[in-house]
Chain A
Amino acid sequence: MRTMYFYRDKGLFLQRLHPATTFLYTGLMMILAVIYSNPLYLTAMLAVVIWTIIELDGRETLKWYSRIAGMMAVFVMIINPLLSREGQTILWHGPRVPVIGVLDISLEAALYGLNMALRLFLLIAVFAMYNLMMDPDRAMSSVSRIARKSAVVLALTVRLIPSMVSQARNVADIQRARGVNLDSGGIYQRWKKRIPFLKVMLLTSLENSWHTAEAMEARAFGSGPPTRYVTEVWRPRDTWITAAVLVSLLTAITGLLAGAGSFEFYPRLGDLTGSGEEILILIILTIMLAIPPALARGYKGWNFIERRI
């Protein structure tokens, strides 16, 4: 179960993008999901993200995230109409409740809650998509261009986690074999029994850090300005997707200047479709954002495309 929401390398097309491409694509999705309030726009983006997740073999992950997102969405949907007093189309007149006031439920507030839930769902889906697409190691080493020293610390930390987990297991075994019953007593007792455990871990990692420092010194760390070894490759697919992202970005900016993508809920619901321009922008945007999953599909389906991107 747990492996489902961690990155797993399956050699998929979308996992073989340059980190910069992945960052651009998911970054734009995130920003748009926050900016847009029009449910049509949000729904279209959600459809694209779900398609991408499916292309990433992430049906199971999608189910898993949907459950969490669903619960959060229900929560938002219930809370918002209860607390919001701004809507004018009252569906149900409730009693007067202390602190909150009159408990009137309006159509606008209910729909606003629904929309917020939709946006929340979209954000979580984008996050899930990123997790399926991007190897955390690669993400980290690309980010490390900016701050090299802290990147080394970060790499060391990440590398140490698996070995510390196994060490922790050994230390716990040894404590038990020395007669400590780790699972009895009250909370205070249990914590007290874990102090030796933490002490061992701390002392050992302090000692190990000395050895690691020595090995790093022996491999010229800090001997002068370093250069960078790059293993990432830029393929035609990265150019295509980056181009698509840039077009989407331009479209989105043009649209936003014209007021496209926003939607008025209060005091009364606005016009959903708006002008024809707004629809046009939505269509262009959706097509552009759907280019990565479309390429992934083509990659799987047609040898012709596979060899050229």
Chain B
Amino acid sequence: MELYRTENLTYIYPDMARPALDDVSVNIYDGEFLLLLGDSGCGKSTLLRALAGLAPDFYGGKIGGRVLYRGRDMEKMDRRQLLRNVGIVFQDPEKQLVKTRVEQEIAFGLENLGLPPADMRKLVAEVINFFDLSELKDTPVSDLSGGQKQKVVLASVMAMQPKVLLLDEPTSQLDPVAAEEVFNTLKRLNEELGLTIVLVEQRLDRCFHMADRVIVMDRGQIKNEGTSQEIAAWAIRNKRHIIPPVAEFFCCTGSDRPPLTVREGRQKLSGMGFRPLEDNESSKTPKPVLKKLWERLGKKTGHRDSAANWLVKLHDLWFKYDQGDEVLKGVSLNIGAGEFTVIMGENGAGKSTLIKTINGLLQPDRGAVLVEGRNTASLRTDQIAATIGYLGQNPNDYLFHDTVNEELKFTLDNLGIPDEGQIEQVLDRLGILEYRYDNPRDLSGGQRQRVALASVLVAGPRVLLLDEPTRGLDADLKRRLGSLLQDLAAEGTSVVMITHDIEFAARYAQRVVLLFDGRVVADGDKYEVLSGSVFYSPQVQKLFRGFETGVLTVDDALSRWEGLSVEVS
């Protein structure tokens, strides 16, 4: 049954020249799980807002065409009636919560709808049960984790009993475990309750296979639609890197109906000529391709060992916040020039604390931090700032000047560095030179992050620390960030980055450090660390476990597959 139909929907935000939606005609069916894909600014969020009635009701602007909900023009629907049919969840749970307690929060929408108290109590009880929130019901909202907050938001929207749930990147601010939980909940809602779901998402490896249908948007228009498999094959033909690695690998080998999950993929591998490894057939007998890899590895390891002058040397660091247990328990780590290191680990493992000790934002309780051979105990952060650049999680925390240019100059002035063309150079390199005299707050999320990064890089730091820079970035922006960081490392800057994004680490980093409970539990080349791990491993590695070793990325996998074809012929 048809639920939604948009007819030639065109929408222009106030004060904008270009339409955000350009002649969009789409049908959405009852009970469907629909995934909306596309790069930042392609109009997918706007389409979601149009379906929720927020554009133009909340945003203003001009609208052309019609949105029909069950055959009725949405513009003519009563708002309360509409809201009882359509629920929408946004990116950042922090900005969607209104009340101080969980139970009150869940009831907020119902209060606004003016439901009688008895009905509200029943709905709240049902939702609290379904989402398993009974233990949290009296908890202050500020005490919840990010994942729990998003769950509460989801619950409070579901309490209004919508028939359709629209979600705008609901996991972009969450770590992988919390994101997984959100996706599982969505799956349950879709399968058990038959709820129609329209999802806009960047984190595709967890939800691509769940979708009944995928729509790809570009510049306000619908580029293509079809099943996940059809879209995967189409994306590869059109060189669009929007699909998760397993599907990408099989599409690149020419499959038209690619497997979407690791399980399906592994079944297909044997059919392609990959042979399972014997237990004793370890990586010590490498095939020709592997040999090359080991040589490369060996070179790198050798290089690391010979570097007597570490840029940053952390020796036996211990740290404890005023409340709670020790966060760092004897961390020792050496970082050489030109290394691209990724620090991974669960929430609360001490990742952020660790990198804050490197630039002196936190002083370790015991142990020493040496930067270029100098102990930083007697130095303040601002005295280390010229050597060590730091990009925090939220780029907005950097932006307060009227132009991008002033933003960069602020850093230079603080450090007493004259501008000898660095500003222009850095902006050019990051591809934001055209915005030099624009207000940074007028830019998009990805551009803002590049401005923040530019304001750090302009000082020419020898070490660059980044705290989860891939959060909320789309595939294209991630690729640009990845290659930029690789280039910086190649020029001799040490890059140390915290991330939960295993695919990103597998693709761009050299070295991976795993933290657990304040201790380093693994440290080494990414091929050593990620291949040896079962859960902390990229999708492609999971696909090839037991077939091939040292395969982390689609490119690795493809070169193995090509090697195989050569052997066969």
Contact = CB atoms under 8 A, between A and B. Distances in A.
Interface of A is mostly: helix
A152 B98 contact: yes
Contact of B112 (A140, A212, A226, A230): A226
Contacts of B116: 227
Interface string A84-116: 000000000000000000000000000000000
B398 interface: yes
A176 B115 contact: no
A221 B112 contact: yes
Nearest to B137: A231
A12 to B, nearest CB: 15
A218 B87 CA distance: 7
A158 B142 CA distance: 10
B329 interface: no
Interface string A62-84: 00000000000000000000000
B107 interface: yes
Contacts of A220: 79-80, 83, 109, 112-113, 160
A137 B361 CA distance: 34
Nearest to A202: B400
Interface in B488-542: none
A170 B393 CA distance: 9
Q: How large is the interface on B (under 10, 10 to 19, 20 to 34, 35 or more residues)?
A: 35 or more
Interface in A190-216: 196, 199-200, 203-204, 207-208, 211-216
A182 to B, nearest CB: 8
Contacts of B108: 219, 221
Contact of B400 (A196, A208, A211, A221): A196
A159 B58 contact: no
A179 B104 CA distance: 44
A191 B96 CA distance: 33
Nearest to B124: A229
A215 B98 CA distance: 9
A284 B146 CA distance: 54
B246 interface: no
Interface string A116-155: 0000000000000000000001001100000000001001
Contacts of B79: 220, 223
Nearest to A195: B400
A181 interface: yes
A218 B54 contact: yes
A178 interface: yes
Interface in B109-158: 109-117, 120-121, 124, 140-142, 153, 156-157
Contacts of B456: 177-178
B400 A215 contact: no
Contacts of A163: 94, 142
Interface string B366-386: 000000000000001110011
B453 to A, nearest CB: 12
Give the 5 A-B residue pairs with the shortest CB-CB distance, closest first.
A179-B414, A229-B107, A220-B112, A177-B390, A219-B109
20 contacts: A137-B100, A167-B397, A176-B380, A177-B388, A178-B456, A181-B382, A196-B410, A199-B400, A200-B396, A203-B396, A211-B96, A218-B83, A218-B157, A219-B98, A220-B160, A221-B112, A222-B112, A223-B83, A224-B112, A227-B110
